[in-house]
Structure 1
Amino acid sequence: MHFGRLEDLRVDHDKTQIEIAQYLNLNREVYRRYEKGIREIPVWALLKLADFYQTSTDYILGRTDHPSPPHA
């Protein structure tokens, strides 16, 4: 599964793959594979990125077009 929104969010926040990989404590190549859909993103990384970008996991996964996280 391709997670194009990962790249879009990263670019919109003026971050590099290296910066996001470091934030996740990963090698850049591992993160690149998440962005390109070569490797499935683990839940812990998805949650951490949703917090970082202040969006919902559903938005990152393409299940909604609304980037705002749901309000409790």
Structure 2
Amino acid sequence: MPLGHRLRERREKLGKTQLDSAKDLGISNVQLSRYESGDRKPDPQMLSRFAEYYKTTADYLLGRTDDPTAGHPETGDADFHAAFEQFINNPEHGVFFKEYLAAPEARKEEMRRFWEFIREKEQGRKPGDRQGGA
């Protein structure tokens, strides 16, 4: 399925009109129409904005996976939020994320992404290993 079709499919899945989506994304309706029709290809920054806005991943939009929610913190991993909440409630970690619970949703999303980045970098690290190393 081409990128444009996936963009349109995600927009429709979220119940958004082309005009509303374009306005929210800070682009013109004509630009969004061209992306959806395949007449125009988004640059990496725009692709990232699409993925965030449509609550999916760039991998899905580019056709690397057929699961629109795989790996997306808001929709893909049902245990992601629970694991994150458990992490921030640990007194050793919670200081870093102390404002999370009172933060606006956009800030919470940013903090969850940062935590996911840390979690991926530390995957497989054993006690005593240097941080960031293998």
Does TM, normalized by the shorter one, top 0.5?
Answer: yes
Distance of 1:30 and 1:24 partners within structure 2: 11
Distance of 1:68 and 1:9 partners within structure 2: 11
Structure 2 contact 3–63 (Cα < 8 Å) conserved: no
Does residue 43 (structure 1) correspond to residue 48 (structure 2)? The answer is no
Distance of 1:69 and 1:49 partners within structure 2: 15
Aligned pair count reads: 72
- Unmatched 5+ residue regions in structure 2? 74-115, 117-134
Structure 1 contact 2–38 (Cα < 8 Å) conserved: no
- Unmatched 5+ residue regions in structure 1? none
Where 1:45 maps in the other structure, the secondary structure is helix
Structure 1 consecutive aligned stretches of length 4 or more whose deviation exceeds 3 Å:
none
RMSD (Å) for aligned C-alpha atoms: 1.7
Which protein is bigger by CA-based radius of gyration? 2
1:3 corresponds to: 4
Q: 1:8 to 1:24 in 2, by over 3 A?
A: same
Structure 1 contact 6–60 (Cα < 8 Å) conserved: yes
Give the structure-2-normalised TM-score: 0.49
Task: Give 1:7-22 correspondences, 5 Å limit.
Answer: 7-22=8-23
Structure 1 contact 34–40 (Cα < 8 Å) conserved: yes
